[in-house]
Amino acid sequence: DAIEKLVANEDFERALRYIKPNLNWEEFSVAMRACKTKEEFKSTLAYDAVMTVAKNTTFSLTISGRSRLPKDKAACTFISNHRDIVLDASFLNVMLYDVGYGMTQVAIGDNLLIRPWIETLVRLNNSFIVKRGVSVRQMLEVSKTLSAYIHHAIKNVNESVWIAQREGRAKDSDDRTQGSVLKMLSIGGDKDNLLLNLMDLNIVPVAISYEFDPCDFLKAWEFQLKRDHPDYKKSTADDLKNMQTGLFGYKGRVHFHIASCINDLLAGLDRKMPRQELFSTVSAMIDREIHRGYRLYPCNYVAADLLAGTDVYAGHYTIDDKQKFESYLASQLLRITLENKDEAFLRTKMLEMYANPLKNHLKAMEV
């Protein structure tokens, strides 16, 4: 029924033609109808669509740390930094599939279900919905249900889960795990101890590194809007523009790094640790693993030097690298059409996006 809804939906067809302009819709409809399970749909049609995006918008898509994946395909909870609304989980899934591990279930915010067909599509792709914008009173119940489902997927269904380390993307690329995410994960287990509930989820940090973020100018744009209008909130149209720009913009080299499951680290913690201390300690553990796992590119070093007005990292890039990045930066800034455009502020914000991964990586490697 879900597939029939999609086949008949003109918006879905139009969206897919952005990815595959020469698509034969009749042949594609037959292929859609041939899928009898979500697994078939993901491993054939969804896989092909994601790889088409990768081929058209990246220089390379790579993964490291495969040997750290749980043995015998044991289910785990992948927690990663969040760069792109759609592609973080999508790229991870196709690479996990390629190495024979299997795809994950994906946590996706209901604010992104902008059209009815999008909800149908993400559910076909084995995603589950995270309710956002609920009242404080409802939040605990919503969190309990979500957490119980994730524990069920890991322990009873043996299907891995992907969830971002925070609600929404880190606009400045200063990636930090929100304690509220860990709190949610810990309350749905069947143990009386929050630490043991977290250990049941087999948390595996994943570091995502995009050489170029196609949405960098949109994120800088949003920074100025929030600075000038403290009550500013993104509209549905803004979310859609971010999704489209992230999907179809050029990303250069994209790398995913799988860290080790943190259960060995968690086992060394005091089970009686106060809850807030527990969540901040585990957040710091995940952050350290993610920061250590970044793949750094010349633009990260160039941005750090431009931001500080130094040439401390000049050994990590050429004059050509620097010129190309400055040219890229200028072209992205031109795409911002604010009335009271603060060029210096916007440029600084974009430089911070590229410098912060380097800053956090160097700090994590000192520990």
DSSP for 123-147 reads HHTTEEEEP-S--HHHHHHHHHHHH
**DSSP letter, residue 43:** I
Q: Which residue from 46, 44, 19, 64 is spatially nearest to 254, judged by alpha carbons?
A: 64
Mean pLDDT computed over 105-128: 91
Cα–Cα dist 181/176, whole Å: 11
The pLDDT value given to residue 168: 86
C-beta atoms surrounding 168 within 10 Å: 13
Reading the block at residue 339, the tokens are 């009335």
Residues in the chain: 367
Each residue's pLDDT tens digit, 135-156: 888 988 999 999 999 999 999 9
What is the SS3 assignment for 275? helix
C-beta atoms surrounding 170 within 10 Å: 17
Return the minimum-mean-pLDDT range out of 184-193, 256-265, 280-289, 345-354.
184-193
Mean pLDDT computed over 161-189: 94
- The stretches of the chain forming alpha helices (DSSP H) are 2-7, 10-19, 25-34, 38-41, 47-57, 87-98, 116-124, 136-155, 179-186, 194-199, 216-228, 236-248, 263-267, 275-292, 298-308, 319-334, 343-366
Is it the case that residue 184 has pLDDT exceeding 80? yes
- Assess contact for 158 and 339: CB atoms under 8 A: no
Per-residue confidence band for 111, with pLDDT thresholds at 50, 70 and 90: confident
Per-residue confidence band for 3, with pLDDT thresholds at 50, 70 and 90: very high
The pLDDT value given to residue 236: 85
108 strand-pairing partners: 129
Per-residue confidence band for 189, with pLDDT thresholds at 50, 70 and 90: confident
Mean pLDDT computed over 76-89: 96
State what percent of residues in the chain have pLDDT above 90. Answer: 88
The pLDDT value given to residue 264: 96
Is it the case that residue 73 has pLDDT exceeding 90? no
- Assess contact for 300 and 358: CB atoms under 8 A: yes
- Assess contact for 357 and 294: CB atoms under 8 A: yes
Q: Sign of torsion, CA 126 132 245 169?
A: negative
Burial tier of 9 (Cβ tally within 10 Å: 0-12, 13-18, 19+) = middle
Cα–Cα dist 104/93, whole Å: 6
Each residue's pLDDT tens digit, 291-336: 999 999 999 999 999 999 999 999 999 999 999 999 999 999 999 9
The pLDDT value given to residue 70: 87
The pLDDT value given to residue 200: 97
Relative to beta strand 252-258, strand 77-80 is: unpaired
Q: Give CA 68 to chain center in angstroms.
A: 20
In whole angstroms, how far apart are CA 318 and each of 221, 294, 313?
A: 29, 21, 10
Read off the pTM: 0.95
Cα–Cα dist 55/121, whole Å: 22
Per-residue confidence band for 367, with pLDDT thresholds at 50, 70 and 90: confident
Is it the case that residue 72 has pLDDT exceeding 90? no
What is the SS3 assignment for 63? strand
Residue type present at position 309: G
Q: Give CA 272 to chain center in angstroms.
A: 32
Mean pLDDT computed over 203-227: 97
Question: Which residues neighbour 68 within 8 Å (Cβ) at sequence distance 6 or greater?
Answer: 204, 258, 259, 260, 261
Is it the case that residue 95 has pLDDT exceeding 90? yes
State what percent of residues in the chain have pLDDT above 70. Answer: 100
Q: Which residue from 181, 116, 124, 119 is spatially nearest to 150, judged by alpha carbons?
A: 181
